[in-house]
Chains A and B, each alone.
Chain A
Amino acid sequence: MDITETRYAQSGDVSIAYRIAGDGPFDVVWIPPGISNVERAFEIGGVQREFFERIASFCRLIVFDKRGTGLSDRVAGIADIETRMDDVRAVMDATGSQRAAVVGVSEGGPMSIVFAATYPTRTRALVLYGTLPRFVRGPDYPFGQSKEELLREAEHDVQHWGTIELAREWLGPDASDDSLAEMATRMRDGASPGAYRQLEQMNSEIDVRGALKSIRVPTLVLHRTDDHVQVAGARWMADQISGARFVETPGSQHMIIHGDWERIADEIERFLVPICTAEEPEVEPETLLATVLFTDIVDSTATAAELGDRRWRELLERHHAVIREHLARFRGTEMDTAGDGFFARFDGPARGIRCARAITDAVSTLGLGVRAGLHTGECELLDGKVAGISVALGARVAAKAAPGEVLVSQTVKDLVAGSGIVFEDRGVAELKGVPGEWRLYAVADA
């Protein structure tokens, strides 16, 4: 099997290590679990290589190490999901992959979910193995560990990182000496203790349930019956994804290459090959996951009356110029201006928030107050424009914001774990014309 030498894709100024195996008729991008190492993965004689060769027998397999792990730049700080999505796109661009099946394994699951929902044009199909949209229990979410438990376990792992003892805890008492030593090595090669701590910190906060309903690509949810990541959670997740197929295989191993991995590979092949080798209809997807931003000038009528028409118009032009400058900087797309307000969309919510904050700061130097609101949800695509209930929701959130405030929905907050953005709970609100109750958060220090 042909396996390329490790090369690096540039994502901003960060290098992401990747390799390509096989040359099948369609591309698979492998989103690895918590830790990985593309060099070690293809070591001769290892199960990991055997497994990847099996997958690469029916596709062109693109594997990479997430930033902070393996051979990629190990930057300080936690990367949020959208930065990690940028890394995936950088790898796809570097390998000339326009569209690929995305396989998200364990910790790689949440980012795969958001990727498939956000970039349907680049995602042909989605496979989720041994993963959940959220790893900790919550009031309305009975799966996973408690946050405290997860963080306590993570700290324990950090303290024993790369030891045979920890490998035994991970693999069970029956594991052979060789496999224990191999596991210990894999830990050290995959991440340093500090990097692993940051990774788990993010995993204790991440929640991408809000993106599940926006997935419109064929999806397979694959899970082993007795995985410690509860199968019930995976089944629930599959139910939330429109048309998703759920397959349960026997076994208690969490790691994909342990136990009966041939069976797992078979399931992936059986699912992907027919979908990905079929003639691809060149249609624009009708829906995608997007973050919408609405801004509005506070007290514009009074200010306009006070300034007079000409000066107000001039001020408005400067306001528009400032906002457009920031949209360009944060990769936002202007959708509409309604009077003195803006409507824009982003493919990542953290960028949306940062843009909104920059706008409220910048226009205050013009002597203007702006309210801003954001929501992330499924939007309909019509001639490049987005529409739908999510758009209406974003507008309603903005209307609730105080002057100079950036207000976001719970969905937005849940998706930006690891970004370092801090929120203040603004309680539950009803939004005009939108059913249900919505919890809103103000971005701190806006």
Chain B
Amino acid sequence: MPSPTPEIRYALSGDVSIAYAVVGDGPVDLVFVHGFAGNLQNELEMPEYAAFHSRLASCSRLVVFDRRGTGLSDRMREAATLETRMDDLRAVLDAVGSQSAVVFGTFEAAAMCLLFAATYPERVRGVILYNPVASTGASRHVASDADIATMIEQWGTRASAAAQIEVMAPSRAGDDAFADVMARHQRLGASPGAARTILRMSREVDVGDVLPAIRVPTLVMHMPSLREEAEYLAARIAGARRYEVPGPDYYIMLLGDEAYDEIERFVESLHGDPAPDTVLATVLFTDIVGSTARAAELGNRAWRELVERHHAVVRRSLDVFRGRELDTAGDGFFASFDGPIRAIRCATSVVTGVRDLGLDVRAGLHTGECETIGDKLGGIAVNIGARVAARAGAGEVLVTSTVKDLVAGSGLVFEDRGAAELKGVPGEWRLYAVADAAS
């Protein structure tokens, strides 16, 4: 381990404290995101982690942190959505003064790292994934309620650690002392309730639709038994490199020199940072229903006043939910968000807010890769958003399946509206209405 022992500090994400530490001072920032749970304090003390930290820190300024709900960070009762976790990652990067970093995530954290890279390409130099679980498109094993109950029952026992070691570190199988170390690490990382929350949440995560929007260099590493998911992802990320770690041990901190060399080569290859010209965004379109008839009925002056009040309501909601107004076309709005949950909440608040004015709006949302043209956004994803809005009923918020898949854990409920064709857009699109948007 590089000395002196790195100090653990807290970054504030909203009012939630996220524990982080910086190891080493290499030329490139590299932030490591645990797939499940860890405990910084313990990792900085565990000899097992020393080689991992010192290898990564030799080629980078390594930033490590405990995700919310685990280790030394604040706890929450409810699951953290992908969007909240992106906010946490940004808070950590801000706290350490990192403009752009290589983002390194394992298992289920891969989904958040990919979404982060697509959403904030200007802050991501490259992505490293290890044993990623990110898409239901590959045949991935989804834990049943019974599986989860069993895992929680056995949480932090030597026996369950020993069973895991047989798979993840066969060379240490039967080593009771190591089983104790890993069981303890499990307990220090997450309490049973926290573990249950993460396990349930991870079943729903799917960022498969985001993969084409990744425009940064990506390295997908995996152990032999998890090749399928890694291949699926690597095939859908432009220019991604896939690397199968040789073993014999597969815990991230026991991968060994050959795998760490691969990471080092990848990090060192990331010199220069071309300005990104695409970004992942959620676009929102709204439109007043029956506006021509209403305008005729009210007369010009009254109608103009009503439209102005409508605009004020929409802009207030955009403000609250951190949306960016891109255009108004007649009596409709086009706005973008960096998170789909905030976008949906904004849309429902607009629908409710304008109803008090006696108006009905339809709203549609899509999340996709957009071209950045100056301050504006363009591209097919924007067209899709507009088409989805056109399909919405009065007072309805309609979203694509892409949006729905990204908001797992948010508590938002959807009603399936079936598959639709969207004018001018190839393929079929499954659409969902946000439940109770009208209430």
Binding site for B on A (CB under 8 A): 5-8, 13-15, 17, 39, 68, 71-77, 161-163, 185, 188-189, 192-195
- How many A-B residue contacts, CB cutoff 8 Å? 79
A6 / chain B contacts, CB cutoff of 8 Å: 156, 184, 187
Least Cβ–Cβ distance between B89 and chain A, in angstroms: 17
Question: Are B191 and A195 in contact (CB-based, < 8 A)?
Answer: no
Are A5's CB and B158's CB within 8 A?
A: yes
Pairs A-B, 5 closest by C-beta atoms = A74-B75, A73-B193, A194-B74, A15-B192, A193-B17
8 contacts between A and B (CB under 8 A): A71-B191, A76-B75, A76-B77, A76-B78, A162-B10, A189-B41, A194-B15, A194-B74
B72 within 8 A of A: yes
Confirm or deny: B16 has a beta carbon within 8 angstroms of a beta carbon on chain A.
yes
Does residue B131 face the partner (Cβ distance < 8 Å to A)?
no
A76/B17 in contact, CB under 8 A = no
CA distance A331 to B17 in the complex (A): 36
Task: Give min CB distance, A168 to chain B, whole Å.
Answer: 14
> Measured between C-beta atoms, what is the minimum distance from B81 to chain A in Å?
15
Q: A188–B75 contact, CB under 8 A?
A: no
Known: A192-B17, A193-B10. A185 touches B155 (CB 8 A): no
Taking the nearest CB of chain A, how far is it from the CB of B278, in angstroms?
Answer: 37
Contact B191 A73 (CB under 8 A): yes
Asked if B188 is an interface residue, CB under 8 A from chain A, the answer is yes
Q: In the complex, are the beta carbons of B191 and A194 less than 8 A apart?
A: no
Q: Which residues of A contact B142 (CB under 8 A)?
A: none
Whether the pair B75, A192 counts as a contact (CB closer than 8 A) is yes
Give Cα A350 to B193, complex, Å: 24
Query: Closest CB-CB distance, A314 to chain B, in whole Å?
Result: 36
Residues in chain A near residue B187, CB distance under 8 A: 6, 17, 39, 71
Chain B residues bordering chain A, tally (CB within 8 A): 29
With A and B bound together, what is the CA distance between A321 and B156 in angstroms?
A: 45
A76–B188 CA distance with the chains assembled, in angstroms: 18
Q: What string of 1s and 0s marks CB contacts (under 8 Å) between B1-39 and chain A?
A: 000000111100001110100000000000000000000
Can you add 5 more A-B contacts, CB < 8 Å, to A75-B77, A189-B188? A15-B192, A17-B191, A162-B72, A194-B74, A195-B74
Q: Which chain B residue lies CB-closest to A70? A: B191
CB closest chain-B residue, reference A6: B187
**How many Å lie between the Cα of A73 and that of B194 in the bound state?**
7
Residues in chain B within 8 A of chain A (CB atoms) = 7-10, 15-17, 19, 41, 69, 72-78, 155-158, 183-184, 187-188, 191-194
> Chain B residue with minimal CB distance to A162?
B8
| Among candidates B7, B73, B74, B192, residue contacting A73 with C-beta atoms closer than 8 Å | B192
Q: Is B155 within 8 A of A8, CB to CB?
A: yes
How far apart sit A13 and B157, CA to CA, in the bound complex (Å)? 19
Q: Which residues of B contact A195 (CB under 8 A)?
A: 74-75
Are B192 and A8 in touch, CB under 8 angstroms?
yes
Task: List, in ascending order, chain A residues with CB within 8 A of B77's CB.
Answer: 75-77
Residues of B within 8 A of A17 (CB): 187, 191
Known: A188-B8, A194-B15. Is A14-B193 also a contact (CB below 8 A)? yes
Cβ–Cβ < 8 Å partners of B10 in chain A: 161-162, 192-193
Q: How far is the CB of A2 from chain B (nearest CB, A)?
A: 15
Contacts of B73 in A (CB 8 A): 192
List of B residues within 8 angstroms of A39 by Cβ: 184, 187-188
Q: Which chain B residues border A76 with CB–CB below 8 Å?
A: 75-78
Q: Are A68 and B193 in contact (CB under 8 A)?
A: no
- In contact, A75 and B75 (Cβ under 8 angstroms): yes
How far, in Å, is B336 (CB) from chain A's closest CB? 31
> Distance (Å) between the CB of B75 and the closest chain A CB?
3
B157 & A5 in contact (Cβ 8 Å cutoff): yes
Q: Which one of B19, B76, B193 contacts A15 once the chains associate, using CB atoms below 8 Å?
A: B193
CB contacts (< 8 Å) of A14 on chain B: these are 193
A74-B191 contact given A189-B41, A192-B72, A195-B75, CB 8 Å threshold: yes
Given contacts A39-B184, A188-B8, A195-B74, contact A75 B193 (CB under 8 A): yes
**Contact residues in A for B157 (Cβ distance below 8 Å):** 5, 7
Please state if B72 and A188 are interface contacts (CB–CB under 8 Å). Answer: yes
Once the chains bind, are B16 and A194 in contact (CB under 8 Å)? yes
A192 touches B74 (CB 8 A): yes
Q: State A189–B184 Cα separation when bound (angstroms).
A: 13
Q: A286–B157 Cα gap in the complex (Å)? A: 43
Once bound together, how far apart are the Cα atoms of A85 and B394, in whole Å?
52
Given A8-B155, A77-B77, A195-B75, is A188 in contact with B19 using a C-beta cutoff of 8 Å? Answer: yes
Complex alpha-carbon distance, A189 and B7, angstroms: 14
| Closest residue on chain A to residue B72 by CB atoms | A188
Residues of B with C-beta under 8 A to A193: 10, 17, 74
The reply to whether B75 and A73 contact each other, CB–CB distance below 8 Å, is yes
CB distance from A188 to the nearest CB of B (A): 5
Q: Tell me the complex Cα distance, A14–B152, Å.
A: 12
Q: Which residues of A contact B8 (CB under 8 A)?
A: 162, 188
Distance between Cα atoms of A207 and B391 in the complex (Å)? 59
List of B residues within 8 angstroms of A163 by Cβ = 7
* Identity of the chain B residue whose Cβ is nearest the Cβ of A15 in the assembled complex: B192
> Which of B7, B156, B184, B194 contacts A74 (CB under 8 A)?
B194
A368 to B132 alpha-carbon distance, docked (Å): 60
- Residues of B within 8 Å of A161, CB to CB, are 10, 17
Of all chain B residues, the one with the shortest Cβ separation from A76 is B77
Query: Smallest CB–CB gap between A41 and chain B, Å?
Result: 12
Question: Could you tell me the distance in whole angstroms from the C-beta of A32 to the nearest C-beta in chain B?
Answer: 16
Q: Give every chain B residue within 8 A of A194 (Cβ-Cβ).
A: 15-17, 74-75
In the complex, what residues of A have CB within 8 A of residue B193's CB?
13-15, 73, 75
- For A15, the chain B residues whose CB sits under 8 A away are 155, 191-193
Please give, as numbers and ranges, the residues of chain A lying within 8 Å of B183 by CB-CB distance.
5
CA gap between A189 and B156 in the complex, in Å: 17
Residues of the A chain whose Cβ atoms lie less than 8 Å from the Cβ of B78: 76
Nearest-Cβ distance from residue A77 to partner chain B, whole angstroms: 7
In Å, the complex CA distance between A39 and B155 comes to 14
CA–CA, A194 and B15, complex, Å: 8
